[in-house]
Amino acid sequence: MKKTILPLLLILLTLQQLPINAAVAKVSQESSYTEGNYTLIIEGYDWGPTVKKVVIPMADLVTEVNTSDFTVSVMRSKEGVEMQPAESKGDREVLFAYVSDETGNRLTEGNHATLVLLVHPNNPLDSPIKYIFKEGRGSNQWIDYSLNITHTPTSKVWDTEAGRIYPELDRFDLKGTHTSNGSTLSYGSFEPESISSKTPLIIWLHGGGEGGTDPSIALIANKATNYATDEIQAYFGKAYVLVPQTPTFWMQSESGNYTRGDTDDIYNKALFNLIESYVAKHPKIDTDRIYIGGCSNGGYMSLKLILEHPNYFAAGYISALAYQNKYITDKEIERIKNVPIWFVHSEDDTTTVPDETVVPLYNRLIAAGSPNVHFSYYEHVVDLTGFYGGKDYYFPGHWSWIYSHANDANFDFNQKPVLLNGRVVTIMEWLASQKR
């Protein structure tokens, strides 16, 4: 009889405990989350910056979080700017969630969760910046970017931004300014650590859409932050990186209109003075290894400074050149023919038409006997990652700077590899080997 009663008592006790255990589990789950703030983690892609991750705090230490428990919606806005519904609000897809610290580093146990969000070049909801056309000019600008993150099992919400982390951009000092020749230019800069010997300087000049007084835009809109990455720095054995920013656009003439080389611009003297000043303030810069490059407007200005100061720069790397060939004289060709330059352009560029800019210029330099000029001429600008369509996905043809930032260019105008000491090299490998 006792043997029968004991199992029955155990079963009854177990049944009575089920609601209590369920309630405890629910309380534990709810207490793991604390409503309120979130932190954005921004990552750069070929098409610009995206909000790739979001970090949310939790009340307790946890060892796991469920991806399907979270929903994320976004609202994008900018005062005075009209946005279409598809670019102003919508849902972000959560790909994965994991336990982390407050900066998104994965942990086995922690009191934060990081949500990894889907990004795609064709989804404007991913981006915290927008190209805004106003008063006859377009420019990339930061916009208001607000998330609403919901933990569906508990209905808890995070809807207030506490901060932003941009690992690539955080390497740069963004507070630089320089005034000369009546112009004040902002700039971002990167200084390598533990420099033991003279070190090169890489200068990047942004395109027409990145002017203003916030150098972060000049760095992130076209992923120029890549020049401070470990991968590219390794080619140079460490290098300073200088990214000046014009208040308007590099090709602005005294009349306020665009010059394409037919008349002088208003910034080249102030810009060169900035470069000289920066070099003077950093005596560890190797003055025989100063490299200048840029895209579109910045390509124009890179070539302009090489034309004006052909003995100053060790080499140039220029993409989507906006300088019109017809305004370059034969005398100027002779002046720069010995300056190493690597051009990058795409055949389908309708903004800086290659047959009006880089193609005839390259041919003239070759005809003049330039010993070290190269030209990677792409048919299209494609997705180099392979994640978004690969070679079958076309970015706008004007975006050939992607191939420079990604250090992809490695062939010449004749489609043959560029060789250095008998070895195929990329544009950054080649650049690092040039010396005045």
Spell out the SS3 assignment of the chain.
CHHHHHHHHHHHHHHHHHHHHHHHHHHHHHHCCCCEEEEEEEEEECCEEEEEEEEEEEEEEECCCCHHHEEEEEEEECCCCCCCHHHHEEEECEEEEEEECCCCCECCCEEEEEEEECCCCCCHHHCCEEEEEECCEEEEEECEEEEEEEECCCCEEEEEEEEEECCCHHHCEEEEEEEECCEEEEEEEECCCCCCCCEEEEEEECCHHHCCCCHHHHHHCCCHHHHHCHHHHHHHCCCEEEEEECCCCCCEECCCCECCCCCCECCHHHHHHHHHHHHHHCCCEEEEEEEEEEECHHHHHHHHHHHHCCCCCCEEEEECCCCCHHHCCHHHHHHHCCCCEEEEEECCCCCCCHHHCHHHHHHHHHHCCCCCEEEEEECCEECCCCCCCHHHCEECCCCCHHHHHCCCCCECCCCCECEECCEECCHHHHHHCCCC
**Amino acid (1-letter code) at residue 77:** S
d(CA 196, CA 19): 68
Phi-psi region of 421 (alpha: psi -120 to 50; beta: other; left: phi over 0): left
245 Cα distance to chain centroid: 15
Closest CA to 311 of 277, 288, 333, 295: 288
What CA–CA distances, in Å, run from 373 to 206, 212, 261? 22, 32, 21
pTM of whole model > 0.75? yes
* Residue 196: per-residue pLDDT: 85
Q: What is the pLDDT of residue 12?
A: 36
- Say how far apart CA 157 and CA 386 lie, in whole Å: 35
**Residue among 25, 28, 30, 32 nearest 112 (CA):** 32
- Please identify every stretch of the chain with a pLDDT value under 50, giving residue numbers as ranges: 1-29
C-alpha to C-alpha distance for 59 and 65, rounded to whole angstroms: 13
Closest CA to 91 of 117, 110, 111, 57: 117
Q: Which two tokens stand for residue 185?
A: 């230019």
Q: Burial level of 367, CB count in 10 A (0-12/13-18/19+)?
A: exposed
φ, ψ of residue 242 to 5 degrees: the values are -120, 125
Distance of CA 93 to the CA centre of its chain: 22
Tokens 């102003």 locate to: 88
Tokens of 311: 């003995």
What pairs with residue 139 in β-bridges? 132
pLDDT for 31 equals 52
Decide: 194 and 219 in contact? Cβ < 8 Å: no
CA-to-CA distance for 370 and 424, rounded, in angstroms? 20
The C-alpha atoms of residue 213 and residue 188 are separated, in whole angstroms, by 10
- Rounded to the nearest 10°, the torsion over CA 40, 41, 43, 47 is -10
